[in-house]
Amino acid sequence: MTLANLNLAAETQKILSDLGVKSESYTGGTLAVRSPVTGAEIGKLPEHSAAAATDAIEKAHAAFLEWRLVPAPKRGELVRLLGEELRAAKTALGRLVSIEVGKITSEGLGEVQEMIDICDFGVGLSRQLYGLTIATERADHRMMETWHPLGAIGIISAFNFPVAVWSWNAALALVCGNTTIWKPSEKTPLTALAVQSIFEKALSRYIAEGNTAPQNLSTLLIGGREVGEVLVEHEKVPLVSATGSTAMGRAVGPRLAQRFARSLLELGGNNAAIVGPSADLDLTLRGVAFAAMGTAGQRCTTLRRLFVHDSVYDTLVPRLAKAYQSVTVGNPLEAGNLVGPLIDKGAFERMQSSLDAAKSAGGKVIGGERVEFDGAPDAFYVRPAIVEMPAQTGPVREETFAPILYVMKYSDFHEALRLHNDVPQGLSSSIFTNDMREAEIFVSDRGSDCGIANVNIGPSGAEIGGAFGGEKETGGGRESGSDAWRAYMRRATNTMNYGRTLPLAQGVKFDV
């Protein structure tokens, strides 16, 4: 089927309606949403005013005051039901992700699977919100820490993972006893409407099981950055988890700090891989191809810089260039295509200006041109670009959210490692090597300075279980796995005296 024949507006409306979303929430409003697959408009949503957003925050706070009293394993039951509803809706929601963001079908489904996985993680976590008991110097005393819910948590998300990022935050925040208020990207609010409806189904089942839960446990706010700013400014939002560009984090972080609120920042990456002389080049080729071209280069963990040892450069790079020329670019809803569209014209223009800058800095560019399809003049497909660079200069030091892979040659491992770390961002990283010393150094204190450091797999993508996030301009936040739950709770240290005297710490005497 050609792109011209696709009626994505009709298909979107059918999916939304099947998932229980009322048509007035995606028609007749002011926020127009286009599918990058064809460029056609697929929804027009009413937006929240600042006053409506403020009102929603007050209600979410009131709901928090009740929800925090529900025992954590009972809160986990709601997240278990959410996981079940997501399993039931996986095909429809995955398809909607593909339509709204332009991801290939398996990646749209994969994003929903990630939501299911974090729900499973959250259910287990609901019985593991533990604190320590600490030895005390005072006789007949006990010292311990307890973890308490925090409040109404703000979630601001980016377009490229329109639903998974909400679930990473919400599944944990909810079992920790918080309520959530979500401001999705203005480019992808339709999938958010679908998720909210799926959540409400889970909540109805939870109540039907005999559990009690307040209204406004999970709230959705539709709009642009101004709506996000209301979340950032409101005193009843003790934590904002914000995913997006470093520019967004630079605006949001200081404003939260100003009112002593917490921030969990998941910002831009400029991820690299080193290919050592001993690397398995077949495996490397596949790892690099997915990490650099997958999701049309629109993952925060997309591979953007590749350092190749001079002994394997002339073998690997021509093979990579061939893969770049032959990779299938086109309708992401059609089986066989591996690279879908960029999100919009702005993304295409930024890609072209980075390629121009790379050329001016001596780069040799293969690919990068627009791929046009009949009947879809407003869709922006590109052939991924591979650029051989003489040095790590100009655009190589920035994140361009598009499929551009800058390739550089090295001869000394330690110099490659230095260059690897010599960018402002610090999200994800990889080394391809069979040399045990190189691999161990890469993941050691002297190695990669990123939040994620992999061996023999690409930097792109993540698995629920590990903490996700990065250093430096990536913002320092950690989400989803390991002990990331602590960000959504406050810690209290309790000292209990079960004796009849009052010994003071450090031997202090104060006898009145």
Footprint on this chain of ligand NAD (rule: CB under 6 A): 156-161, 183, 185-186, 224-225, 228-229, 232, 243-245, 248, 251-252, 266-269, 300, 399, 401, 427, 474
Catalytic residue at 266? yes
Taking alpha carbons only, the member of 285, 404, 290, 287 closest to residue 342 is 404
Report DSSP letters for 468-498, one per residue: B--EETT-S--BSSTTGGGGGEEEEEEEEE-
State how far the Cα of 306 lies from the Cα of 323, in Å rounded to an integer.
15
Taking alpha carbons only, the member of 413, 416, 387 closest to residue 402 is 387
For tokens 């979340």, the residue is 231
Q: Are 341 and 379 in contact (CB under 8 A)?
A: yes
Residue tagged active-site, from 266, 399, 473, 479: 266
Buried-state track 309-333, b at ≥16 Cβ within 10 A, e below 16:
beebbeebbebbbebbeebebbbbb
Minimum CB separation from ligand NAD for residue 171, in Å?
Answer: 16
Report DSSP letters for 12-65, one per residue: HHHHHHHTT--GGGTSSSSEEEE-TTT--EEEEE----HHHHHHHHHHHHHHHH
Amino acid present at 250: R
Minimum CB separation from ligand NAD for residue 79, in Å?
Answer: 21
- Residue 436's alpha-carbon distances to 262, 416, 419, 432, in angstroms, are 40, 17, 21, 11
State how far the Cα of 189 lies from the Cα of 416, in Å rounded to an integer.
41
Minimum CB separation from ligand NAD for residue 354, in Å?
Answer: 13
Minimum CB separation from ligand NAD for residue 236, in Å?
Answer: 17
Q: Which is nearer to ligand NAD, 253 or 276 (CB)?
A: 253
State how far the Cα of 192 lies from the Cα of 203, in Å rounded to an integer.
16
Minimum CB separation from ligand NAD for residue 261, in Å?
Answer: 13
In the chain, the largest separation of any two C-alpha atoms, in whole Å, equals: 90
Helix H or strand E encompassing 388: strand 385-388
Minimum CB separation from ligand NAD for residue 469, in Å?
Answer: 6
Q: Which is nearer to ligand NAD, 240 or 306 (CB)?
A: 240
Alpha-helical (H) ranges within 41-143 are 50-67, 72-101, 105-125
Q: Which is nearer to ligand NAD, 77 or 266 (CB)?
A: 266
- Residue 61's alpha-carbon distances to 65, 153, 253, in angstroms, are 7, 9, 22
Q: Which is nearer to ligand NAD, 275 or 452 (CB)?
A: 452
Q: Which is nearer to ligand NAD, 157 or 460 (CB)?
A: 157
Backbone angles phi, psi at 356, to 5 degrees: -60, -45
For the chain, helix, strand, coil in percent to 5 are: 45, 20, 40
Backbone angles phi, psi at 52, to 5 degrees: -65, -35
Minimum CB separation from ligand NAD for residue 256, in Å?
Answer: 10
Q: Which is nearer to ligand NAD, 151 or 461 (CB)?
A: 461
Taking alpha carbons only, the member of 474, 400, 408, 459 closest to residue 429 is 459
Minimum CB separation from ligand NAD for residue 98, in Å?
Answer: 17
Q: Which is nearer to ligand NAD, 219 or 243 (CB)?
A: 243
Q: Which is nearer to ligand NAD, 399 or 438 (CB)?
A: 399
Catalytic sites, residue numbers? 266
